[in-house]
Each structure stands twice: as C-alpha cells, then as structure tokens.
Amino acid sequence: MTARFGGGGHQLSCSRSGSARPGNAALRGAWRVSKSRRMRADRSQSGGAVAGYPSPRARSAPSLCHLFLINRRIIAGGKRSFIVHSKTAGCLSVMTAEKSGPVINGKPEDGRDPEGSSSSLDNGQYNERGQWNNKIEFVLSVAGEIIGLGNVWRFPYLCYKNGGGAFFVPYVIFFICCGIPVFFLETALGQFTTEGGITCWRKVCPLFEGIGYATQVIEAHLNVYYIVILSWAIFYLFNCFTTELPWAGCGHYWNTENCIDYYGENATNITNPNATSPVIEFWERRVLKISDGIEHMGGMRWELAMCLALAWFICYFCIWKGPKSTGKVVYVTATFPYFMLLILLIRGVTLPGAYDGIKFYLYPDISRLSDPQVWVDAGTQIFFSYAICLGCLTALGSYNSYNNNCYRDCIMLCCLNSGTSFVAGFAIFSVLGFMAYEQNVPIEAVAESGPGLAFIAYPKAVTMMPLSPLWACLFFMMLIFLGLDSQFVCVESLVTAVVDMYPETFRRGYRRELLILGMSIVSFLIGLIMCMEGGMYVFQLFDAYAASGMCLLFVAIFESICIGWVYGSDRFYLNIEDMIGYKPVFFIKWCWMILTPGICAGIFLFFLIKYKPLKYNNVYTYPDWGYGIGWFMAMSSMVCIPLGIIWMIWKTPGTFSERMKKLTTPSPDLKMRGKLGALSPYAANDAKADGKISTISEKETHF
C-alpha cells in the first residue's frame, strides 16, 4: 500500500513490509508533526472527516520507505530539503494528487499520459482535451500537414530554376541545420507541455509568449487564402466529367479570336503576337474572369464561391470532433495522394520526351551555387514545406502520449517530406518533357511554378494524352487531397491554441464545435474577396506577404533563441530525455543555439536587402496602397514578438531584474512526468542537466 506525504499537492509513494512511517527517526518526527497539523486543518474544513489520508487498514500496509537514502538537512532560512540520490530513482514515484490509480515510472499503470488523455479541469463539467488513439494517427496527421501543394508545384520548379541537381546541396544543408531542428523543437515542445501554439510558450518562457501569437496570426492568414486553391481545384474537377476537357480547344463562349490551339503545331510558326492558348483562356476568362487589377475588383464569381463553401464544409467535418475525427480522416487524406502520385509517375515516365524532362530536372549546374538567391530559395523552401513556425506541429504534438518517441517520428517525417518532393519532381517534369516534345519547344517554355503549373501547364499536358479526362480527374483529386489535410490541420491547430487559452469557456458541451464553426464562417466570408474578379491579385498579396518566408524566418529566430538560450537547451534536452528515454544527437542542440538562428537571420537580412515589390505575372504592378496592405499583413505577425516582450515587462511588477527573472522562469506546473520526473517532477524548472541528483524541497513534498 502507500504512505502519503502531502495531501493537496503531490504525494510521495513508497511501500515496504511493516509500518507506513519513514524509517529515519528525525524524518518520522517531521512526518508526525506534518500529519497532525494537517489532520486538524482537514477536520476544521470537512466537519471532522480527514481528507486525503488512507484508512487505518491502508496505513498499516507494507512499505519500502526504509530503502530510500533520504538525508535531512537544514538550509538557510530554516527551509527543509531532502536530497534524493539517483540510485533510488527506480523506487520512487511522484503522483499528482488529483489523479488516481497506481503510477509506474511516472506514468499511470495503463501507460497513457494522465495530463494528455483528459482535461486537468473537473471532468464532471469539462470535456476531455483529447489524444491520438495511436501513433499512426499522429504520423499521418503531420504527414498530411507538411506534404502539400508545395511539394508538387514549388520544389520541382526551384530545382530546375536553381541548377537542377546542384540545388540539392543548399537544400540538404538547410534541411539538416534548420528543417529538422526546428521541426523537432516544435513537436517536442507540444508533447512536453501538452499545450497549443500559444500557451506552450507561456509555460516555458512567459517573456516570449508573443511567439505563439505570431504563429497563430500567420496561421489565421493561411486559413483564409490557402483553401481558395482548393476551390479552384474543385472547379476544375467538376469540369473533368466530360468527354472532352473544356480547356482542350477553342470555340467556347469564353474564348477570344486570339485563341490558338498549340497542340500539334510548332509554336515558333505562330505569327499573332497576341496569341493565347485555350488552357490559359479557360484559367483567366472562365475560372477567374480576372480583372485589370486590384483597383477593379469586379463582381463575385459565384461558382468559385460555392466551391469555396464546399471546401469549408468538408474541412469543418474533418476536424469538428478534434483528434477523434481528424485521426480517422487522415487515413484517407494523407495516403490517397501517394496512390495518385504513383499512378501519375508511372504514366509520366512512359510518355515520349519524359527522359528529356527528367534530365532537365536533375542535370546539375554547379555554377549556380555562387548565386545567393539559390541558397535563399533553398532555405525558404524548407520553411514552407515543413510547416514550421505556424504552431501546427506544436498542436499536433500536444495530443501525443507523454512517452511517445517524437524524435524518431520527426526524423522519419522530415525524410518522408523531402523524399516526396523529390519523387514529385519526376512525375511533373516527365509530363512537362512530354509537352515540350509534342510542341517542339524547349522545356523552359513550358515549365512553370505555383498555380501556373497546377492550373495551366499540367492541364495542358493532359489534353495531349489518351483518356485525358481520366488523367485530369486523377491529378485534381490529388491536388484536393494534398491541400485538404494541410488546410484542416491548420484550422485544428488554431482552434487548439484558442481552446487551451480559455479551457473553462470552450471545453463545455459543444462550444468547441461552435468555435470551429465560427472560425470557418469568418474565414469563408473573408475568403470570398478572393472569389471576385479581382480576387487573384488579393490572393497574391496574401501569398507573398501574409505567410511569406520572411515572416517564418523571423519567428524561427526567436524560437531558437528562446529554447536554446533563455529556457536552456540543456534543460530542454533533459525534458526530451524524460519523454523518450534518451537524449537526441548533440548536433541539434548546437543548431538551436547557433546555426539555426544565425542562418535564419542571414536569410532574413538578405530578404530585406534584395526586396523587390510583387508583380503579378511579372507584368502588373500593384498600387502603393496594395503594397501597404501586403506589408501590414506581414507586420501583423512579426510585431507580436517585440510587442509581446514589451507588454510582459510592463505589466509584471517589481524591479527590472525581478521582472526578467519572473518572465524567464518556466511555469511552476510545468513538470516532467517520465522516469526522470519520478525523481523530481519540477526538474523542468530547477533540475540540473546531468540528471544525477534532484532536490525535493519542503514546498514540493508538503512536509
């Protein structure tokens, strides 16, 4: 049975045959005094009943307390402290008073994390926070978030633009020095704190709580405009269910007299300087009905608005029950794109001209490595494709069990993400090589990036294939699934951040579901602006400023500084060791402290120095107020960090040094709950990095 020292806070649990009292005479005296005082206090509060103590039968049960080497000493100020040597750690367990059930190695007997599996609030009044049912749900959710449209339409284009195979040199360097370290940092932080994207930073270092707000502002911007791409893909998908693709030829009501079908003709023989292809006219005149500029927003494209509403409808029901629904949906949304990509890859490499396209994709041009822009493109691609500095990884990691091996998961997921980007390049450039072969033009003339690749180049290529509606349908279904799980995971992480900030409000009844519904409706209404005839210009502003690489780099700098220097990389390594049972490679610690913030700062400065105003299609120049809107969206996230620091210092009482000490001290309820936490749960706050000796103070043991 148990001898319990302390009632309202934490309990020191031990067992032996015989008395339940400590073996050391001095310690027994302290135990009796403490017990007597608290029994009187409990009687006065409960009308005679003694709360928090075992029955007489339980108190006479066996105990092993005499085996502990606990030395009592008196320190300055009369405060008692007990030094527990590490060789007794295997016999000691520390439980939270409000939890019930036996504890083994800092975990409940069933192996699940007590703080992750249910709310720390009163379960009779509040809903559970939720947790992944198994590791597969977590892995698929993260894979669905990070493997998105950028893997298909951005990475292959950057490869060919920046020297083909030579681009892999800076890409791998940034992958090792920035991608994996920050990816692992955010995931492990969420798993350790069991908090969303804002409250996790509040717990580890209140001074840098603004990091959390910055990530959620970027995420809110993403939620508004990223799903618009899905509405375009849904519109194209509906137009694939026909015997002839509508963008395959001219003669439709949206075509002009300049429309010329390039298929089967040599593009160099076209003499009309204003000639356009049917696929471009379908995109600009049928789908977008694009206006002359952002000054002329025009009317609403109601077909796109309905597609956007359908996308939000699907997104809502994917996440409305939290991890319970998300964990089931990702079995389809995260795996289906791989089947589609495999089918398109096999089809692409069997087309004539595919070899030339793949050669163009991979052939290295070493001279391009001397161009700083190549290195900047590699760094920004890492941040774009790994969903770091958005709070998504923190939210997904917070639903893990405490002892999940997040280190191994992160390494595997990072390799999977980059591998998918590499393979997607074969699928895309084999088709582009085929298109160049059919038109007898250089591949440079058909290679595009972003929406141009997804909605112009590739749709044009499939019109040249047999059974073109089938291949177009498969391609746009792949785009929809790639974008869908990235979208609903972003919304889920934003909801998680808000719910964790106000659990008393949103963990009641169906309030969480109503919060998701409210966010979806607001984001949908704002997104309607991008369904207007001038909406494409607004979309480009969001893409270039609101969620730009510059914002992500700025956040990454402060994340690395906060964990590497303020909270302490040694302390965080100890927390990770408590969760997974061993420390990660030492190199990641150096990345957090030196390499990652240094590299990110360098690229950020390069962004500012080489800044060029946005131009749509490299032709249309935005008005000054348009650029002002773009910079306002960019600054809305970055300004959260310095303003948050100033606000926290201003509102904290005391001298400046006292304020800084309070604001850089982790939350007192941030505890380690694994094997090292069994020695001292507060080691997250005050344990030494070597983990050999931990101090349990009088306050912690309630003596």
Does the structure show a pLDDT above 80 at 104? no
Which one has a higher pLDDT value, 549 or 685?
549
Decide if pLDDT at 52 tops 60.
no
Contact 262, 280 (CB under 8 A): no
> Locate tokens 């906060």: which residue?
562
| Closest by CA position to 184, among listed 404, 338, 337, 378 | 404
pLDDT at residue 39 is higher than 90: no
Average pLDDT over residues 375-395: 92
Considering only residues 31 and 258, tell me which one the structure prediction assigns the higher pLDDT. Answer: 258
Residue-wise pLDDT tens digits, 665-681: 999 989 898 888 777 65
DSSP type of residue 88: G
Average pLDDT over residues 396-422: 96
- State the average pLDDT over residues 446-465: 84
Q: Which residues are annotated as a binding site for Na(+)?
A: 144, 151, 385, 417, 482, 485-486
User: For a pLDDT cut of 90, what percent of the chain falls above it?
Assistant: 58
What is the per-residue pLDDT for 660? 96
Going through 363-463 in order, the beta strands assigned E by DSSP cover: none
The label of the residue with tokens 């490679």 reads: 585
- Domains in the chain (CATH in brackets) are 136-264+274-645 (1.20.1740.10)
pLDDT at 192 over 60: yes
Query: What one-character DSSP code corresponds to residue 147?
Result: S
> Which range has the worst mean pLDDT, 76-80, 188-192, 317-321, 428-432?
76-80
Query: Which one has a higher pLDDT value, 106 or 345?
Result: 345
CA distance 146 to 414: 9
Band of pLDDT at residue 694, cut at 50, 70 and 90: very low
pLDDT at 272: 66
Tell me the whole-structure pTM to 2 decimals. Answer: 0.79
Nearest CA among 323, 394, 332, 333 for reference residue 135:
323
Confidence of residue 276 (pLDDT cuts 50, 70, 90): confident
* Integer Cα distance of 125 and 509 in angstroms: 9
pLDDT digits (tens, 9 = 90+) for 150-159: 898 889 888 8
Q: What is the pLDDT of residue 397?
A: 96
Residue 43 pLDDT greater than 80, yes or no: no
pLDDT digits over 199-213, tens only? 999 999 999 999 999
419 in Cβ contact with 385 (< 8 Å) = no
Q: What confidence score (pLDDT) does residue 270 get?
A: 56
The pair phi, psi for residue 33, each rounded to 5°, is -60, -45
Instruction: Average the pLDDT over each of 348-357, 559-568, 679-688 and give the range with the smallest value.
Output: 679-688
CA 585 to chain centre: 22
* The predicted structure's pLDDT at residue 63: 39
Sequence ranges of the binding site: 144, 151, 385, 417, 482, 485-486
CB 280 within 8 A of CB 252: no
At 481-527, the pLDDT tens digits run 999 999 999 999 999 999 999 999 999 889 999 999 999 999 999 99
pLDDT of residue 403: 94
238-266 pLDDT, tens digit each: 999 998 999 998 989 999 988 987 654 44
What percent of the chain has a predicted confidence (pLDDT) above 70?
77
How does residue 699 score in pLDDT terms, banded at 50, 70 and 90?
very low
Query: Are the beta carbons of 4 and 14 closer than 8 angstroms?
Result: no
DSSP state of 370: G
- Give the model's pLDDT for residue 15: 40
Average pLDDT of the segment spanning 286-312: 95
pLDDT score of 21:
43
